[in-house]
Amino acid sequence: MNTLANDTFLRALRREPTEYTPIWLMRQAGRYLPEYNATRRRAGNFLALCKTPELACEVTLQPLERYPLDAAILFSDILTIPDAMGLGLYFAEGEGPKFERPVRDEAAVKQLAVPDPSGELRYVTDAVRTIRGALAGRVPLIGFSGSPWTLACYMVEGGASDDFREIKTMLYRRPDLLTRILDVNADAVAAYLDAQIEAGAQALMIFDSWGGVLADGAYQRFSLEPMRRVIASLKRRVDEPLIVFTKGGGAWLEEMAGIGCDAIGVDWTVNLGRARARVGDRVALQGNLDPMALMAGPEQVRAEAIRVLDDFGAPADGAGHVFNLGHGISQFTPPDNVAVLAETVHAHGRRLRKGGASASSL
């Protein structure tokens, strides 16, 4: 495999010294880029784009051609695992992902099985290999999965939800059924991420998109514990750094830092300086600009990026920061603002390391 020309992102995750703050963006290959939309039209639909390794590679690389980003992330979807379980994934126009066969009773739960990463999910590992080759050591490649809980939300609800009524009813009425789903999902996520590492991914991220909808206590049992199981399984076999991101998980940062991950992604509701004080030197932090800040003018984008960097403060031994958004980039983002963001993060990150000016004096 290629030697990395830029390993700043990986060093930050390992809380090693870096010359500047590295940046990548959740959903950085997406609908805000006209070239992505052109490739998606060629593919015919979103699932075809995900399941064609050459096209997945093409869109993965597109943001790197525009911006000085420090990592690429596999272009795929978090619902690949339940799709491979035979639940009938499809995308309804204007409604997002749907499943033809939601998992809501004992019979459906009993039928669940861990999909073979080299079988039903081979298109994902083929994409990882293709992207890793095309990157040629330029920057690291991030592999990812949805968390066991987040996958379960879609599997039980049958799609996106405003109130999570179906899965929360199961949680309170039949926690045994939900536990069985989460056990299968945890084994599936571990096998899936392990296969991505085997194919060439150099870091991993678990997207716990819906962990924040859980009550305290339920979060620890039904979201955090399955992720801990996944990480424990992976860490027995791989050394690559692993990021966990629970949207809405600011109340549980200390507990998240204790499950074996190398970094925690935080959303825009969390002050990075206070988060850094809470987790200490146990993990690196990733985040956390409000994606809507990118809708403003260039000067406001610069100011907000500097504010986030200053919130974290100057990196020190044992502390790592990867700049990112607090959630995925919006399809309505002006592409030129991303260029402003990346340049500002790199430049001000260098100033911070030299004891330079803060946002208030710039």
Residues with catalytic function:
27, 31, 40, 77, 154
Task: Judge whether 215 and 142 are in contact, CB under 8 Å.
Answer: no
Amino acid at 188: A
Tokens (6 digits) for 306: 């500097």
Q: What's the sign of the alpha-carbon dihedral 219, 221, 223, 229?
A: positive
d(CA 214, CA 170): 13
Contacts of 168 (CB under 8 A, 6+ apart): none
> In 10 A of CB 354, how many CB atoms?
8
User: Rg for the chain (alpha carbons), in Å?
Assistant: 20
CA 235-114-74 angle, to 5 degrees, is: 60
Query: From the centroid of its chain, how far is CA 145?
Result: 8
- Phi and psi (nearest 5°) for 288? -155, 45
d(CA 181, CA 316): 42
